[in-house]
Structure formats: structure tokens, C-alpha cells
């Protein structure tokens, strides 16, 4: 099982700060595509992704028990 963490406006779109899904063996890109099918408003093309607190790329493969975080762009002043 994998824990998916969502931050800022992303958690408002899915109405939760995390989900738990079995994603082992899938790429980050595949996971984003699955999430986009279920939550069409998620702007996943513009988010940073991290696996176990390290930045990840779309072709990185998720392993059992990995924690995946989706971090939207941050602006400030």
C-alpha cells in the first residue's frame, strides 16, 4: 500500500490530505494519469512530485510502501 499526500489547493480538490492506494510497480506518470481520471480538476501537470521525501520524475517507479507527495507551485511576496 502507498500513501499519497496532497498539499494546499490539491487537498481541497480531493477533499482529503491523503489517499492510500496500491501503486507498486507503476510510474509516477501512470499514477498521475489515474488520479486525473478520477479527479479531473487536479492540475498534476504543474506539480512537483516526491517519493519518500525526494523529488521524483515521471518515469520513476513506485515501490511497495513508498510515500508519494504532490506539491503545487508556491508563490510568495
Which pLDDT value is given to residue 52? 98
Name beta bridge partners: 28. Answer: none
Chain Cα centroid distance, residue 75? 19
**pLDDT tier at 73, thresholds 50, 70, 90:** confident
Residues in the chain: 77
Name beta bridge partners: 67. Answer: 3
**pLDDT tier at 77, thresholds 50, 70, 90:** low
> What domains, with CATH codes, occur in the chain?
2-71 (3.10.20.30)
Q: pTM, whole model, 2 decimals?
A: 0.91
Which pLDDT value is given to residue 75? 58
Amino acid at each position: 500500500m502507498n500513501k499519497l499526500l496532497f498539499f494546499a489547493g490539491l487537498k481541497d480538490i480531493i477533499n482529503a490530505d491523503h489517499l492510500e492506494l496500491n501503486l507498486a510497480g507503476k510510474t509516477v506518470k501512470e499514477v498521475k494519469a489515474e488520479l486525473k481520471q478520477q479527479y479531473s480538476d487536479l492540475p498534476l501537470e504543474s506539480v512537483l512530485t516526491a517519493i519518500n521525501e525526494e523529488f521524483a520524475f515521471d518515469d520513476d517507479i513506485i515501490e511497495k510502501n513508498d510515500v508519494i507527495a504532490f506539491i503545487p507551485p508556491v508563490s510568495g511576496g
